[in-house]
Amino acid sequence: MTMLTAPWLTGPARAVCQMLEDGGYQAWFVGGCVRNALMDAPVSDLDVCTDAHPETVINLAKAAGLKPVPTGIDHGTITVVLDGEPIEVTTFRRDVATDGRRAVVAFADTMDDDALRRDFTMNAIYCDIRGQVADPLGGLPDLHARHVRFIEDPATRIKEDYLRILRFFRFYAWYGDPDGGIDADGLAACAMYADGIDGLSSERITSEMIKLLSAPDPSLAVASMGRSGVLMHIAAGAALDVISTLVHLEQSVGITPDPVRRIAALGGDRDRWRMSNAMQAALDARMADLPLAEIAYRHGADAATDRYLIEQASMTQPADPDRIASFAHAAVQVFPLKAADLMPDLQGVALGQALKSAQARWIASSFTLTKDDLL
């Protein structure tokens, strides 16, 4: 019997599970919290599942003096708030119908039914409040081998939700064994049904790709996406080889992974992507057609560093730490001229053009020209 120890087993979520058990129902942690705890990886979200139906969960929570919020009651999810911490409790479910984008679900009575509607074996491992692990589909061997494998038939799982194609590569980037290689059956199914990605929303595609490119080293996953034909549905014309070189350069100079840097390096057609305004602005800064020093001055040292690393990676050249350090100097420079320094001799458009020209000369001088020099 596999037992799990984790700090969250003694937190507020335990009390919610105890509430369900005291009412005569099952209560299991499932998904990412169990998977990551077993892999000694950070845990961010706690998901609880139960055979109690949503109305029962609400009644039990109220009777225990807790606050139930019907955040997803149509899908069987009630958020129970304890000590200010929200705990999502979802009734066991089974798929009734799927169309590749969303599923019609019905409540189920058993863990086995609930497990069969999940995507990968390592995501169908459960744990109760005592730390006892339940593995209805045999996911533990896959987890220990870091083998990302679809539950039962890969094609069936993919046709239920085509986003699982991208999740397959994302999970391989984060949890797969790079030496063991990607699951061949899963890869073949992803290649066969890659056209299904075209029906997904831009928001879902973008979210998955950002998560994938945030992995410490997503290069093998990206390369597999390219070989299987999946990447052409997301970023046609992307530069596959640059990512692996970029990751090496990041590691060589001690710079943490950043999805914006990797998106800029990947390139390709991103018409299907929908990034936030802040992320798009950061991406535009890294792709600006400007000298590196000017990028640092206008957009910050990080933007210039990212652009430099991308350029070096594209040429398979090493990164110079001194060059990177110079961007911090450029980023804090202050243009010594003000409009008042050129008035009243210049006004309007002529004033603006003179300031722009002077600033260009100042930047080209590596910020060495003084106010007197510029005047």
Q: Which of 144, 159, 178 is the last residue of a domain?
A: 144
User: Buried (b) or exposed (e) across 243-270, using 16+ Cβ within 10 A?
Assistant: bebbbebbeebebebbbbbbbbbbbbeb
Q: Are strands 103-107 and 93-98 parallel, antiparallel or unpaired?
A: antiparallel
Positions of the chain with pLDDT lower than 70, given as ranges: 97-101, 103
Q: What is the pLDDT of residue 85?
A: 86
Q: Does residue 26 lie within any of the structural domains?
A: yes
Q: Does residue 208 lie within any of the structural domains?
A: no
Q: Does residue 347 lie within any of the structural domains?
A: yes
Q: Does residue 109 lie within any of the structural domains?
A: yes
Q: Does residue 214 lie within any of the structural domains?
A: no
C-alpha dist (Å) from residue 345 to 262, 341, 359, 370:
48, 9, 18, 20
- For position 129, which CATH number holds? 3.30.460.10
Q: Which of 125, 144, 163 is the last residue of a domain?
A: 144
Q: Does residue 329 lie within any of the structural domains?
A: no
pTM score, whole prediction: 0.91
Residue 237 has which token pair?
């014309």
Q: Does residue 163 lie within any of the structural domains?
A: no
Cβ neighbours for 223, distance < 8 A, ≥ 6 positions apart: 240, 243, 244
Scanning 92-235, the segments in alpha helix (DSSP H) are 111-116, 139-144, 154-160, 163-175, 184-192, 202-213, 219-228
Q: What is the pLDDT of residue 185?
A: 98
Tally the domains of the chain: 2
Q: Does residue 27 lie within any of the structural domains?
A: yes
Q: What is the pLDDT of residue 99?
A: 67
Q: Which of 94, 111, 144 is the last residue of a domain?
A: 144
Give the pLDDT confidence of 13-56 residue by residue, as tens digits. Answer: 999 999 999 999 999 999 999 999 999 999 988 899 999 999 99
Give the pLDDT confidence of 196-243 residue by residue, as tens digits. Answer: 999 999 999 999 999 999 999 999 999 999 999 999 999 999 998 899
- CA gap 196, 211 in Å, rounded: 20
Q: Whole domain around residue 131: which residue ranges?
A: 1-144
Q: Is the peptide bond before 70 cis (omega within 30 degrees of 0)?
A: no
